[in-house]
Amino acid sequence: MSTAGRKGGGGSAAQGSGSAGDPAAGEPRARGRGTGGAPDAQTTAPGTKEEVGLDAAAPGAVDTAQHRATPITRRRLLGTAGAAGAAGLVAGGTAGAAGAVAARSVPVALGTVGSAHIPFEGVHQAGIVQPAQALGHLAAFDLLPDAGRRGAAALMRRWSSAVRTMTRQDRPAAPAAYDDQIAYDAGPASLTVTFGFGRGFFARTGLGPELPEALAPLPHFPGDRLDAARSDGDVWVQIGADDALVAFHALRVLQKAARDWATVRWQMNGFTRSPGATAHPVTGRNLMGQIDGTNNPRPSDADFAARVFVPPNGSPAWMANGSYAVVRRIRMLLDDWDHLPVARQEKVIGRRKSDGAPLSGGTGTTPVDLARFGPDGTLAIPGDAHIRVAAPASNGGAAMLRRSFSFHDGIGADGTPDAGLLFVAWQADPMRGFVPVQRKLDSADGLSRFLRHEASGLFAVPGGAGPGEYVGQRLLEG
């Protein structure tokens, strides 16, 4: 998927008690330890880093960057990384827009990966349009029975304050009460933390009238094999960073900061390609070996903001500039998949495995031609091929932005890999985005025979916070 950075603008919430200088809010005690960070100029070219995802294609194909790196020497290999390695910095944007994408063809020094900085504050929360980082943690928390609305506000205030500090470019220590010094000598490493609210959050806080219509329960899909203990939750957290210790440190800080008001319901770990793993930016592959994400919506699309974000005048008002995240743990039946000949795998997906080109012809960036026939008179892209069934043309135009992580949790009792995709899909309305696409995939996608949906959740993700504000403030103090 092609993503863009955005430079944090002020949030729309009215400034309340969540002041950045409020010690009770968990404001960090500054213990500056400058990292010599590079200037905030890291950007990613359109199509240069596309996240792993299994559903929903957007109209047209993403133009994967064709930048060519200079020949790789040992010194260059040790000292540089592809531009896709460092997460894009936020470029200017307006409410409801993802911002422009600036091209960068020169490899970035590996030494700058740690200092890459994505601001916490902005019109939208960070971690939606930026490229997925190398490491990810997803977690859901349930509010304690006596937390109520006041406890939820205190939690979000404390969390926002801690994340604002951990994502600063100079990265001072986290709040003293929660800092374990795991990442004491590290820079921000493109750290983002994104927060969302599940349906249970509104009942526990007495905010039932503010429950969005779009947060309706997801329907049951016949192919689901969901574990309730690893699904849903009152508050959802997505953490991403290009350094494993920075990502783990953020998770631990949030977990310890929540102890007065919430407990962990479930937590999952994921990964994508590491910075510098390729000589130049390329579309990522999933654990099935397929180039994945080519047809993701991109910020340069005219309808990108309308597909992904709630408009500034949307309903409910507190969700202005926010989005909805569908989270699914999708296990890949890799042993079964690997037994298929490559030619058969390509027909299941509808693309060549080597370069991601559609079976209708062309290259990895060629638009899919669903009407094309082969020399034998059959459809070039089979009727049950994943890219045909998931295409907007097959789903009334429905599409979503996929920003997912792979996972591998060891070998199961049956001797097969417990591995697959931590699927995260962003859309302005999941009832018009994820639901119709998944219904079609569940019933007609040839790939579904090799997948098992094991956990699921849907979360309302408010717009970003401005200076001194906390995420969800418009809801909790409105």
Omega prior to 316 cis, within 30 of 0? yes
Q: How many Cβ atoms from other residues are within 10 Å of residue 256's Cβ? A: 15
Active site residue 292: yes
Helix (H) or strand (E) holding 452: strand 451-461
CB atoms within 10 A of CB 213: 9
> Which residue in the list 142, 243, 292, 429 is annotated as catalytic?
292
Task: Please spell the DSSP secondary structure of 136-163, one letter per residue.
Answer: EEEEEEEE-TTTHHHHHHHHHHHHHHHH
Amino acid at position 113, single letter: V
DSSP class of residue 239?
A: E
Q: CA 383, 389, 392 angle in degrees (round to 5)?
A: 130
Cα distances from 275 to residues 4, 109, 112, 269, 271, in angstroms, run 17, 10, 10, 18, 11
CA distances for 317 relative to 18, 111, 257, 379, 393, angstroms: 19, 42, 28, 47, 31
Q: Helix %, strand %, coil % for the chain, to 5? A: 25, 20, 60
39 by Cβ neighbours in 10 Å (0-12 / 13-18 / 19+) ranks as exposed
Q: Which two tokens stand for residue 212?
A: 């969005």
Which residues are tagged catalytic?
292
